[in-house]
């Protein structure tokens, strides 16, 4: 039997199905809801603190007490989860406060789980906010002669990442999210969690994280710019796509429960490729600080209508394949969606 040939003339006029708001709503293929969002938040030592971040209008660093109020407000709007980033009181070459029982993120986890028990608490697992050099791992300082001085040592970094993840789990975190793009990080963290009895704590891996120029405002917010060099030795080249699938495959093999692509808007093609290649695993996208800041700046200048473009951008991220979206727009977008 030969295939049925397609008619050579139009049998429908698509505009008929766009005629009214009700028809458009009935046929909408992608539905954005507040439950799609994860709200990234920054916590710092102190009390009663809300410290605005200049390059990210509307976003602040919070002390633990004020963070609880902010997270509770987001939860009331329907946002189910937060991602915690910590600004420590003291930094050192190893990022020791990162895995201290009384570290700032550990304090925040306990406070959030006590105040809003149903809130899903996720934690970023990396070293850059905690080290005095601002890099994502332990540096080579004469330890390995074949590496240049100041290069990141992969395996010693894995040991610390495992400790950090376990300390977050002990404090009550629901998911941990390694973001440093170290080889073997998911495997090391999974082993550490399982050995410590936290086999139910899930791993959301920053599996595909590009060396992007869109991270600038975040580095102000997290106080984590590198003191020298850059992060191109471990984050991905923006020109590469096939490599993204390889990175995703490795993290799946190592035990990742959720994959993430970061940034989102410049990498929608990557997001779609990963979604289509690995449909059995949940996929997240990080709508990063620079993406947030550019829409805020354009809206502030009257060049774009903020609500329209934010919801359009977030819908585009979901349409490309993201089931979860980390976004600084989470609270306001949830409010707009509830308004209808």
**Tell me: the pLDDT tens digits for 168-208?**
999 999 999 998 888 899 999 999 999 999 999 999 999 99
For the chain, which residues make up each domain, given as ranges?
Answer: 30-258
7-23 pLDDT per residue, tens: 666 677 888 888 998 98
User: Of the ranges 152-166, 225-239, 248-262, which is most confident?
Assistant: 248-262
- Those residues whose C-beta lies under 8 Å from the C-beta of residue 55, and which sit 6 or more positions away, are 216, 217, 220, 221, 289, 293
Least confident of 84-98, 171-185, 241-255, 275-289: 84-98
Distance of CA 143 to the CA centre of its chain: 32
Q: Catalytic residue numbers?
A: 209, 262
For 170, phi then psi, to 5°, come to -60, -35
Please, what is the angle between helix 104-115 and helix 64-76, to 10°? Answer: 40
Q: What is the mean pLDDT of residues 257-281?
A: 97
**Cut 0.95: pTM above it:** no
The CATH number for 30-258, chosen from 1.10.3720.10, 1.10.10.10, 3.40.50.1000, 3.20.20.70, is 3.20.20.70
């Amino acid at each position: 039997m030969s295939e049925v040939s397609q008619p050579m003339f139009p049998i429908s006029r698509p505009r008929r199905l766009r005629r009214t708001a009700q028809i458009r709503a009935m046929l909408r293929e992608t539905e954005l809801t507040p439950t799609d969002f994860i709200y990234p938040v920054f916590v710092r030592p102190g009390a009663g603190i809300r410290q605005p971040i200049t390059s990210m209008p509307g976003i602040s660093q919070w002390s633990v007490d004020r963070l609880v109020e902010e997270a509770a407000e987001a939860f009331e709007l329907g946002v189910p989860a937060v991602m915690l980033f910590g600004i420590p009181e003291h930094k050192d070459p190893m990022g020791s406060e990162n895995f201290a029982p009384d570290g700032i993120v550990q304090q925040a986890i306990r406070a959030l789980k006590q105040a809003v028990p149903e809130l899903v608490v996720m934690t970023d697992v990396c070293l850059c906010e905690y080290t005095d050099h601002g890099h994502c791992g332990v540096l080579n300082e004469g330890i390995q002669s074949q590496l240049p001085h100041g290069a990141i040592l992969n395996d010693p970094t894995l040991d610390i990442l495992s400790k950090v993840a376990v300390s977050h789990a002990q404090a009550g975190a629901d998911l941990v999210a390694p973001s440093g793009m170290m080889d073997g990080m998911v495997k090391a963290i999974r082993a550490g969690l399982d050995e410590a009895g936290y086999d139910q704590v899930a791993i959301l891996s920053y599996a595909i994280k590009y060396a992007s120029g869109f991270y600038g405002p975040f580095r102000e917010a997290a106080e984590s710019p590198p003191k020298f060099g850059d992060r191109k030795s471990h984050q991905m080249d923006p020109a590469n796509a096939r490599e993204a699938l390889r990175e995703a495959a490795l993290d799946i093999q190592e035990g990742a429960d959720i994959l993430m692509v970061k940034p989102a808007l410049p990498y929608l093609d990557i997001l779609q490729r990963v979604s289509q290649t690995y449909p059995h695993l949940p996929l997240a996208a990080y709508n990063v600080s620079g993406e947030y800041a550019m829409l805020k700046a354009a809206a502030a200048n009257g060049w774009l209508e903020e609500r329209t473009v934010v919801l359009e951008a977030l819908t585009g991220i979901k349409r490309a394949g993201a089931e979860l979206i980390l976004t600084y727009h989470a609270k306001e977008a949830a409010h707009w969606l509830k308004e209808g």
